Structure formats: C-alpha cells, structure tokens
Chains A and B, each alone.
Chain A
Amino acid sequence: ETGVTQSPTHLIKTRGQQVTLRCSSQSGHNTVSWYQQALGQGPQFIFQYYREEENGRGNFPPRFSGLQFPNYSSELNVNALELDDSALYLCASSLEAHEQYFGPGTRLTVT
C-alpha cells in the first residue's frame, strides 16, 4: 500500500461527455503526476502539479486539464471524451525530486 488513493475505481462514459478523476496523495507529498495507460501499453505522462502549479505537460490536448488543491490532492478533467480516451489513469505522488508512488488507478471506458 502506497497511501495514494484514486476515485472512482471504474467509470463508464459516453463519447462527448466530461469526466473528473480524483487522486489523494501520500501524506507529506507535494507533487502529483498523472499518466494514461492504454491497453497493452506503458503509461504516458499527461502532466504534473507541484505546489498547486502545473509543472510539465506531456503530449496531450488542452481538453485534458488538472488541478491541485492546498492539501496536495489533485483532479484530472477530460472534456469532450473520445473513444481513444478509454484507458487506465494513474496518479503518482512524490516529495519533490524523489520516487513516485502510484495509486491503484481509475479504469475509464468511453462508449
């Protein structure tokens, strides 16, 4: 157990809808990173938040957005869902430049 939690565990949405995924970081961690893992692939970096500011972004369109709150928990929002957004979404928390600890993930299915 890493102490990183994510909700919900599973989610089914329809193309065009919007979704919000949540992540609670491990106690004492101030950095949260989000990754998308398509079936059969390795995780791909979406973006990272450090002390409530975006600190790096991967090759994802602007309809992927995020927030980090004062307690360092985080949200990932995806607008105008597409079928290819179906994936496992992982968040990872860390204390600045140390190892990232992952949560159990949210499985999103877009139909």
Chain B
Amino acid sequence: AQKITQTQPGMFVQEKEAVTLDCTYDTSDPSYGLFWYKQPSSGEMIFLIYQGSYDQQNATEGRYSLNFQKARKSANLVISASQLGDSAMYFCAMRARSNFGNEKLTFGTGTRLTIIP
C-alpha cells in the first residue's frame, strides 16, 4: 500500500520569498511517480510537477522544483519567488506504475499556503 504524509497543515510566506512544502511517502513498489498539484478555492486540481522514481535529476518546471531524496523517501516542493496567486492548497500524490495501464493516485492531506503581501 502507498502512503503520502504532508505534515504542514498551513504555511504563511511573505511575497517574493521561496517556500518549501514537505512531502514524505511510503511504498514497496520499486517503480513509482510523485506529483504535486495545486488546488485553488475553485476546486480544480492543477498539475504542477512530476518526478519518476528512476529519474536521476530533480524535476523543475518554471518556479517549481522538486527536491527528491529517494533514500529519505521525501519529495518536497520548492516554489521560488512566491506570488500572491500561489495562495492555495497544495497536494503531494503518488502513483505506482501498473501493468494494466494507469494507476490510481494516492494523495496526502495537503498544505494550505498563504502568501502575504
């Protein structure tokens, strides 16, 4: 079984500062993928970044980077130069690859990020 743990229920960050959102995971599958999604108050889950378990380098997408430490089973999201529009819920999720096609995503409980002007 897969498990995702996000230990920060809420965070307040000054605009333009960098912020790190923590995520640890547990799985016995050797092949898996880790995702971060942003969920504004409207409800839609917006895909931010993906890291495969065999990827040698940390994933980056614009202002988002994923600090992947496989031995520690952590996949922290780093947002550089935070903006007011970054205020939202952030979810870490894991997918274990299946021979039957796509596999379910297991989500953490989320972190509510608030950017302060």
Neighbour of A31 across the interface among B42, B91, B101, CB < 8 A: B101
> A22 — which chain B residues lie within 8 A by C-beta?
none
Q: Is B104 a contact of A48 with CB atoms below 8 Å?
A: yes
* Given the contacts A43-B45, A102-B44, A105-B43, A48 and B108 also touching, CB distance less than 8 Å: no
Q: Which residues of A contact B91 (CB under 8 A)?
A: 42-43
Whether B102 sits at the interface, judged by CB under 8 Å, is yes
Max chain A C-beta neighbours (<10 A), residue from B91, B98, B101: B101
Contact A45 B101 (CB under 8 A): no
B105 within 8 A of A: yes
Query: Is there an interface contact between B100 and A45, defined as CB atoms closer than 8 Å?
Result: no
A88 within 8 A of B: yes
Cβ-neighbour of B104 out of A58, A88, A90, A96 (below 8 A): A58
Task: Give the interface centre of A33, A43, A48, A96 by most chain B CB atoms within 10 Å.
Answer: A43
List chain A residues, Cβ under 8 A from B102: 31, 33, 48, 50, 55, 94, 96-98, 100
Q: Which of A45, A99, A105 contacts B44 (CB 8 A)?
A: A105
Residue ranges of A at the interface with B (Cβ–Cβ < 8 Å) = 2, 31, 33, 35, 40-45, 48, 50, 55-56, 58, 88, 90, 92, 94, 96-105, 107
Residues of B within 8 A of A (CB): 4, 35, 37, 42-47, 50, 91, 93, 95, 97-98, 100-110
Which 3 A-B residue pairings sit nearest by Cβ, starting from the closest?
A42-B107, A102-B45, A45-B104
